[in-house]
Structure 1
Amino acid sequence: MKRISIAVVLVLIVSLTLVFHSSLRVSARVAASDVTSSGTPYSSEWRLTGPTGGDVRGLVIDPNDPDRFYFGTLDGQIYTSTDGARSWRMLVNLNRPSLFVDHIIVDPRNSKVLYVATHRHKDPGGFFKSTDGGLTWRDAPELRKAAIHSLAQSESNPNILLAGTITGIFRSTDSGETWSPLPTGALAAAAAQQRGDQEVDVESLAIDPRNSNVIYAGTWYLPYKSSDGGQTWRIIKKGIIDDSDIFAINLDPRNADHVIASACSGIYETRDAGENWVKVQGIPSQSRRTRAILQHPSIPGLVFAGTTEGFWRSGKGGENNSWMVTTSRQLEINSIAVHPRNPNTVFIGTNNYGVMVSTDGGKNFVPSNTGFSGRFVNTIVADRENANRVYATTINTTTGGGFFFISSDGGASWQPSMRNMPPRLIGYSIFQDDRDGNTIYLGTNLGVYRSSDRGVSWAPVMARKPATTPGKRRVTNRGSVRRTVAQSRPSSTRRAIAQPPSTPGQRIAAPKPSDDTVRRAQEALGRAGYEIGTPDGQLGPRTIAAIKRFQTDRYLSVSGQLDETTLAALGIASATAGSATAHVAALSDPVNAMVSFAGKSGHEILAATNSGLFRTADPALGWDRFSYGQGIDVRTTSISTSAQNPSVIFVGTATSGVLVSRDAGETWQQLSGVLNTSPVNVIVQDPQRSSFVYVGTKLGFYMSHDGGDHWSRRGGNLPFGDFTSILINPRNPDELFAGNAYQNDQNAQGGGGVYRSNDAGSTWVRIDGREHRLPSFRIWALALDPKDQNTLFVGSHSGGIYVVPRGAESSANERR
């Protein structure tokens, strides 16, 4: 279950001086954590295969070596290139999850000196310095609790560095060795007047190259200027719309009084050092969130703007209506760099698409990501019939949506395959039809999509519209409406009338809740910290707005309605929670998992959704929903069935733990051995011993060897964790793999990981040793090659897919 997030509050905060070591290649040394219980390493080879691309934040070029590049990611990694951005390798993994590396500076006096500023939005990131080209790093004690959103070095006095944070501006006069805060009371007072808090929120900084005492600071409110090295500040807003977040400030390299600033309200320029500003016209309002702006260092009048809707270019100094977008508007740009020797070569760091390069002055761009994958891999499935064909889905961490990828060479390379998919589609589960291997179902945030050509093209799964007689009005015979699954329970005898086809993502209107239900929902929202005023039982604008915020925070479909899923998430049982199984024409809520099922009508498909568990014998005829009974959270996160015992269904929920039905879904039992305090991510049953059941939750791993009657938590050497994927070797069911996605600053060196057991979960060994220098240790997906169980596919949080061939010695031991 990868869609429902629960915050884990940690009370222990440890500040450490971190020294990070990196090597130039993946070592074949064997660490203790990479040794199986038989005394041999599982594998000494972890191949980082892609899919290439991902999120690139700060991107810079070494001023002394134009072939050397650096960029930062949003998960604490720094990559480097020594061949002009044609290929990349990871320089260092700072092992701080969700760390935005937005700013990297290469000291112009010594290219081995690197400065890095990081943040986690408003949470701490820190400042890091390396004096040996990135082999080792040291953090600044004064900035360990700082969320640094901007970093600048003085050109006239390179010893001076400035760091802009949420709480203020810090200054170093010794090249980042020590830091001290600057007085920013004026900025805090303006924030208090505008927003009611005293956060300074310095998003951008620039230092006049002629005088290091002249500083520009862009905040989440307006720009400021200091002429005395930051001792005093004044607001410079004449001509700028109030409450304008200043994302970037760029000084003209030919005339430092000419400044261009990007803001949420547009782009502004001043020709008198900030005294007067003029709004630049030409970039549409929806594209004005300009994260990077750059006046070309050697071509006068050429200006670039990297926005959340494409790359924009002006050949007339940014004059009104001189801008032209040269990329897709779906492209989000975070940084811009120009090659110092080839002025027409422009590089951009983007979300989703990594580094892109233009050789014609920013008119056309192509990706350049060999060696880099920063993708969040959510699901991996190997084709059960076609050797070397593998499918994977990824989630776009910053922009929303995702990609579907296909490999035809055993994971060595990947190609996107999203024909006919809408934007912002996220694939949560992949299911290859048991009867027809050409048919693949994709469970998404917008319902179910189907491919009849092994993932080449896609179409939404919707109920077929019943045929009508031309010229005559069709009369529905309520007693003969065909259902997808025959129902035998007395409570299910009411026939459901077929509904018209629905568009994927379209929510079927929920019945109007009673005043009492609305009042209880308002009270629950109030307890959860959402402002709704006095509970009055009425769905007014304030209540609807609070519902939408709650749905957004809980990753539910945002409708503003008190549908059953939202009521369940609020802990309120709706009037229909225990009613007969509902029939829907198409699934519109997120589909978290899909499996095959030997139901009463023969072959069926089960789908776990945020609105419950559904079944169908033919998706073109719609879906029927199981009823769990009163008081159960219907948000279903995972499913497990077994051909060995087809009447048994295990499901995982968001807050009701694990449920089991032993009569093909007629009745359900909530199991007591698995805690219901955290969402269930995954459930698997041993294909040869269906009584062996394994469960991964947000807070731990559970196993039962008696069909769920008794449970034990974890196993020997298996740590606390967020276990997102569990894999059983079908040829050797005693061999298990478990993927752990839990990692934070406190367990950075030991968090996450891939664990292996060869005794059915009793003991475990970690197999992704640190010597492999993987970019991400948070694991979300695992798969084995169905033709050759000696190849393991590992989906990571921000390092793409690792292909891991079992070592020869380990394979020989497994065959004994």
Structure 2
Amino acid sequence: MINRQSLLRFAHKFNLILLIIATVFCLWSNPAFAHRPHDVISQVEVSPDFQTDNTVYILVRNNFYKSSDGGSNWTRLIQGLDYTGELSSLSLSPLNKNILYLASRSNGIYKSEDAGESWQQVNQGLETNFINFLEIAPSDPNIAAAVGLEKGVYLTEDGGKNWSNIFPTTALITSLAITPNNPGRIFFGDEQGKLYTSSDGGKTWQNLPLPNNVGAVDTIAFSPNLDRDKTFFVSTREAGIFKTVDDGKTFQAVNEGIKDKIIEDIVISPDYAQNSTLYAITWYDGMYVSQDGGKSWTKMSEGLTKDKQADDYKVPHFMDLKVVEDTMFLGGFNGLFKTTDSGKKWQEIETLARATVIAMAVSPNYAQDGTVVIANYVGNIFISRDQGETWTPINRGLEVYRLGKDPEESGQDPRRFFDIAFSPNYGEDRTIFAGFLRNKFAKSDNGGDLWKIIEIDQKVRGPRIVPSPDFAKDKTLFLTNQQGRIFRSTDGGNTVKNISEVGKISGNYAPAMVASPDFAKDKTLFVTGTEGIYQSVDGGLTWKNVSQETPLSKASNVQLAISPNYPKDGTIFAGTIFSGLFVTKDGAKSWTKLEKPGFNPSTSVETIAISPDYANDRTVMVSLQGYGLFKSTDGGETFKSIGDPKIPLVKIHSIPSAGISVQFSPNYAQDKTLFGFGGAKTTVFRSTDGGETWTSVTIPPHAEEDTPRYKIGEFFFSPLGAILRLVIPILLAITAYFLVGFLKLEKVINLPQSFFSMAAALMIFLFVFFVIITQV
């Protein structure tokens, strides 16, 4: 029988052991935290036939999206949109729902005559391609005005075929509007608070008498009955809203009830003559409504949310409003909001989906296992083991509560993926790697069934993962990132070490890195850095710039693809945003721009992929921004357009990732299979005829946090759960201690009974704790 003194001695020892174990595991565990990233909606347009066609257009994070069901589902439209800078303004004709204009701060103005399905540039007569905003005349779709970042106001009267500068100026113009019923009457305001109008299509101008010191003129909105009631409203940066009822001869401030006087948009009810209703969107507060012609205002922002990053970037929280009877859409920094009750309650609707595919990898053993993996923008990794027909989430070990809070992205879901890659020896080692946006990556050595998080010991953003082609023997893995730091692992990715640097790349892009197929012998790598392309011949320890005195030294978002036959042909392709496509055939000693490849040689090259059978088929694929997929079968000398240019085989803009949006099957010589991504949903595109035709598979939504295992795990990693993580094993260990005491094992084995009890208690504690930690 156990005496009291022995029990006390054991209790002290046991408590000490548990305290040590608990301390270690508590330090190891991370708190739970989750939130979706913001989706900046800079502009919204609604079809004039919205009540029947439910069509909405948005500019979201520099992408053009269309919905045909009131915002429930979105399609990314890209055909003809070869812009390389920011999309700045969108305008839809109220008279012809098929006509849209789209302005950019890089490539001028685009026009669509098929409801956004395809676009063409209409820049004849423009003196600048940096366009801040534009406006279609409400009463004539052939007339539109546009404002350049500099050099004034432009007008077209022939549907964009020709533009003329109707008000040359060096002032920064901040607003533009054309009256509802007279396309020749144009207004604009500038940053100095001056308001101008023309009644003859820009031939002559008049300065209207706004009060002094009101700041920039941000918005001009007309009564639908302007010709009769002479009423319009103007918002200013520092003094709020002004109203005129005498066609601009005098103005009166109308801000009662508005606390936030930085007005981003004003929308007047089409029934203003009857209901005197108008709406104002403010920088911070959201929406205000007036039902007395602006005399008083009421805030109506229930359900609208904000993101503190808007304040960090000094941009508005709310930007653009569109109204169709009781239905309204409001675009802002934190997303798109919709109301169906005239603004009483708002609800955010998903646009730039968390499930958007940002990275893909095809198994090197694809001919045998048919395996493909994809990573979402946020939250999930999926695997297909049947050549892309069906997909399964593989997220065990990647839960939010394991990743913890990102101190640099407070309020953000830490499951922001950046890259995904197979081990070249995947058929044997079953290893997959996945990169996160910041400071860590993950490894699975069982085909994605369970992941291990590996921390990078320096703050880095955007790691690209490149396993050594000889990974089966050397266990070497390289990581580069936007900071230009080169990390290497020689233990299969379990630990990484910073071994060199090539300098930070420009822009919010992913750096490129490729390894020589004969890396085991030549130790050769290529990577992009501050001044273009760098080469290492010692496994990444030292680097030499191999693009000096070429356009590649100053190019943005350089993409690299290396020939599988590199040891013999020395071939690497380099694609750029502004400068076109380049090739070297001497191991980067010299570079040649492909001047007549079958497409505009300065077109933005978004993706390059080389056939694994390049030595025989000489096949190269390039995906061009706005023009679709092009194929070469002569080593890049000439290209031809293939597939459907409407299929978005380019990465989503403004979501940085290392994903390559077009990839060959390693068995391409036999199966002619390619995979691609770039749509607005969790969609994978597949071709089995060398890219000529494509089919798509859309993966059903999967919310990992809705699964029972996730909820149990989230609980156990919560503050209360953390206590129970210890209490449950302790209680079971104490129970085991006393139960073993009844077995009288000291009579069978000549050891003290306390030894058996303590051993049993410790084993039970460790086993239960391990099960809780690893199985949830």
TM-score, length of structure 2 as denominator length: 0.57
CA distance in 2 between partners of 1:686 and 1:95 (Å): 30
Aligned pairs for 1:410-429 within 5 A:
410=388, 419=400, 422=409, 423=412, 428-429=418-419
1:373·1:798 contact (CA, 8 Å) conserved in 2?
yes
CA distance in 2 between partners of 1:718 and 1:678 (Å): 24
CA distance in 1 between partners of 2:526 and 2:50 (Å): 59
In the alignment, structure 1 residue 696 sits paired with structure 2 residue 573: yes
Aligned pairs for 1:178-217 within 5 A:
182=166, 184=167, 188=169, 198-199=170-171, 201-207=173-179, 216-217=187-188
Q: 1:806 aligns with which of 668, 673, 688?
A: 688
1:268·1:280 contact (CA, 8 Å) conserved in 2?
no
> Partner amino acid for 1:295?
I
Report the identity percentage.
14
Instruction: Report how far residue 324 of structure 1 moved.
Output: 1.9
In the alignment, structure 1 residue 62 sits paired with structure 2 residue 48: yes
> Partner amino acid for 1:234?
N
1:72·1:101 contact (CA, 8 Å) conserved in 2?
no
2:222·2:268 contact (CA, 8 Å) conserved in 1?
yes
1:149·1:164 contact (CA, 8 Å) conserved in 2?
yes
Q: Which has the larger radius of gyration?
A: 2
In the alignment, structure 1 residue 768 sits paired with structure 2 residue 649: no
> Partner amino acid for 2:322?
A
- The residue that corresponds to 1:293 in the other structure is 266
CA distance in 2 between partners of 1:133 and 1:326 (Å): 30
In the alignment, structure 1 residue 595 sits paired with structure 2 residue 575: no
- The residue that corresponds to 2:108 in the other structure is 125
- The residue that corresponds to 1:104 in the other structure is 91
- The residue that corresponds to 1:661 in the other structure is 537
Instruction: Report how far residue 661 of structure 1 moved.
Output: 1.8
2:56·2:70 contact (CA, 8 Å) conserved in 1?
no
CA distance in 1 between partners of 2:144 and 2:590 (Å): 60
How many corresponding residue pairs? 586
1:119·1:126 contact (CA, 8 Å) conserved in 2?
yes
Q: 2:498 aligns with which of 618, 625, 631?
A: 625
- The residue that corresponds to 1:467 in the other structure is none
2:286·2:304 contact (CA, 8 Å) conserved in 1?
yes
1:127/1:237 CA distance change after superposition, 3 Å: farther
In the alignment, structure 1 residue 586 sits paired with structure 2 residue 558: no
- The residue that corresponds to 1:337 in the other structure is 322
CA distance in 2 between partners of 1:144 and 1:688 (Å): 47
> Partner amino acid for 1:696?
F
1:344·1:360 contact (CA, 8 Å) conserved in 2?
yes
SS in structure 1 of the partner of residue 195 of structure 2: strand
Instruction: Report how far residue 718 of structure 1 moved.
Output: 7.5
- The residue that corresponds to 2:134 in the other structure is 150
> Partner amino acid for 1:199?
A
- The residue that corresponds to 1:28 in the other structure is none
Instruction: Report how far residue 224 of structure 1 moved.
Output: 0.8
- The residue that corresponds to 1:380 in the other structure is 360
In the alignment, structure 1 residue 794 sits paired with structure 2 residue 676: yes
- The residue that corresponds to 1:238 in the other structure is 211
Greater helix proportion: 2
Q: 1:607 aligns with which of 479, 499, 502?
A: 479
CA distance in 2 between partners of 1:642 and 1:431 (Å): 16
1:763/1:607 CA distance change after superposition, 3 Å: same
CA distance in 1 between partners of 2:534 and 2:517 (Å): 16
CA distance in 2 between partners of 1:113 and 1:620 (Å): 53
Instruction: Report how far residue 613 of structure 1 moved.
Output: 1.8
- The residue that corresponds to 1:312 in the other structure is 287
SS in structure 2 of the partner of residue 204 of structure 1: strand
Instruction: Report how far residue 119 of structure 1 moved.
Output: 3.0
2:93·2:136 contact (CA, 8 Å) conserved in 1?
no
- The residue that corresponds to 1:167 in the other structure is 151
- The residue that corresponds to 2:57 in the other structure is 71
- The residue that corresponds to 1:360 in the other structure is 341
Instruction: Report how far residue 650 of structure 1 moved.
Output: 1.0
SS in structure 2 of the partner of residue 645 of structure 1: helix
CA distance in 2 between partners of 1:412 and 1:806 (Å): 16
1:208/1:665 CA distance change after superposition, 3 Å: closer
1:329/1:63 CA distance change after superposition, 3 Å: same
In the alignment, structure 1 residue 783 sits paired with structure 2 residue 663: yes
> Partner amino acid for 1:702?
V
Q: 1:327 aligns with which of 286, 304, 309?
A: 304
TM-score, length of structure 1 as denominator length: 0.55
> Partner amino acid for 1:606?
F
1:607/1:327 CA distance change after superposition, 3 Å: same
1:204·1:219 contact (CA, 8 Å) conserved in 2?
no
Instruction: Report how far residue 329 of structure 1 moved.
Output: 1.9
In the alignment, structure 1 residue 268 sits paired with structure 2 residue 253: no
2:79·2:118 contact (CA, 8 Å) conserved in 1?
no
Structure 1 segments unaligned to the other structure (5+ residues): 1-52, 189-197, 395-402, 464-584, 812-816
In the alignment, structure 1 residue 390 sits paired with structure 2 residue 376: no
1:731-770 alpha-carbon deviations (Å, 9 max, x no partner): 7874576454666xxxx8xx6744344x7x376643535x
2:231·2:244 contact (CA, 8 Å) conserved in 1?
yes
Supply the RMSD in Å over aligned alpha carbons.
5.8
> Partner amino acid for 2:340?
T
Aligned pairs for 1:514-525 within 5 A:
none
1:701·1:723 contact (CA, 8 Å) conserved in 2?
no
CA distance in 2 between partners of 1:756 and 1:352 (Å): 42
2:241·2:263 contact (CA, 8 Å) conserved in 1?
no
- The residue that corresponds to 1:18 in the other structure is none
In the alignment, structure 1 residue 442 sits paired with structure 2 residue 435: yes
1:447·1:589 contact (CA, 8 Å) conserved in 2?
yes
1:412/1:65 CA distance change after superposition, 3 Å: farther
CA distance in 2 between partners of 1:315 and 1:437 (Å): 63
1:516-553 alpha-carbon deviations (Å, 9 max, x no partner): xxxxxxxxxxxxxxxxxxxxxxxxxxxxxxxxxxxxxx
1:348·1:357 contact (CA, 8 Å) conserved in 2?
yes
CA distance in 2 between partners of 1:414 and 1:101 (Å): 38
Instruction: Report how far residue 587 of structure 1 moved.
Output: 4.0
> Partner amino acid for 1:336?
L
- The residue that corresponds to 1:645 in the other structure is 520
> Partner amino acid for 2:373?
V
Instruction: Report how far residue 603 of structure 1 moved.
Output: 2.7
2:306·2:334 contact (CA, 8 Å) conserved in 1?
no
> Partner amino acid for 2:536?
V
1:443·1:591 contact (CA, 8 Å) conserved in 2?
yes
2:673·2:689 contact (CA, 8 Å) conserved in 1?
no
1:310·1:325 contact (CA, 8 Å) conserved in 2?
no
CA distance in 1 between partners of 2:286 and 2:618 (Å): 47
CA distance in 2 between partners of 1:672 and 1:60 (Å): 47
